[in-house]
Chain A
Amino acid sequence: EVQLVQSGAEVKKPGESLKISCKGSGYSFTSYWIGWVRQMPGKGLEWMGIIYPGDSDTRYSPSFQGQVTISADKSISTAYLQWSSLKASDTAMYYCARRPVTKDAFDIWGQGTMVTVSS
């Protein structure tokens, strides 16, 4: 079964760092892009960035460039989203999603990781 499994919910304080993960299984992890999508409470979907684990080619939305870092470890089929200094406004659900090379749709989604930043 093709799936993306994300790490569990996190509760952090402002200024702390965080790295969440997304592990792919059931397919060739290095042959598909992995995107990250933010959903703030009660709001819509926002594309943050995308990485091709095969060669680590990474693109960012201008809204998130410099605010987060996307990486991948192809040896363990895992993509990451990290923050160096969290803000309360980073409180949101974060989804990873797979994008085939031949399409620009996201065909498989992780279950989401809820990040809560509060003092």
Chain B
Amino acid sequence: SYVLTQPPSVSVAPGQTARITCGGNNIGSKSVHWYQQKPGQAPVLVVYDDSDRPSGIPERFSGSNSGNTATLTISRVEAGDEADYYCQVWDSSSDHYVFGTGTKVTVL
């Protein structure tokens, strides 16, 4: 089955840039989506189809995808960005949806 690997944690100072990676075999050939989950809340879609943002999501959230790694970038990090972040793809070979292992972003 398809596996998505994320770093367990990323720490960043306010105003700096956080980069969260999502590794998978030839992930560049798939559409990658990213979710933000704050404590006690449901996940929220923040980036879809590698780099598009749903309405209402700040431009500070951006994404890229190439080769074996997709990346979610959060620019000008704010305290309110502290959350868990998950990547997700649809694996066409199995017709299954796969979530990454999750990354906890801590704002110092």
Contact = CB atoms under 8 A, between A and B. Distances in A.
A110 B89 CA distance: 20
Given A105-B88, A107-B48, A109-B42, A47 B31 contact: no
Nearest to A50: B97
Interface string B27-45: 0000101010100001111
A104 B42 contact: no
A44 B86 contact: yes
A contact residues, range: 20 to 34
A72 B37 CA distance: 26
Interface residues of B, number: 25
Interface in B58-108: 84, 86, 88-90, 95-102
Contacts of A59: 95-96
Contacts of B98: 47
B99 A45 contact: yes
A35 B88 CA distance: 13
B97 A111 contact: no
A28 B43 CA distance: 22
Given A103-B49, A104-B33, A44 B102 contact: yes
Contacts of A46: 99
B95 A109 contact: no
A66 interface: no
21 contacts: A37-B99, A44-B99, A44-B100, A45-B37, A45-B88, A45-B102, A47-B97, A47-B99, A59-B95, A59-B96, A61-B96, A61-B97, A95-B43, A103-B49, A104-B31, A105-B33, A105-B48, A106-B35, A106-B88, A107-B45, A110-B42
The 10 lowest CB-CB distance pairs between A and B, nearest first, are: A104-B90, A105-B33, A105-B48, A47-B97, A44-B102, A109-B42, A45-B99, A107-B45, A112-B42, A45-B86
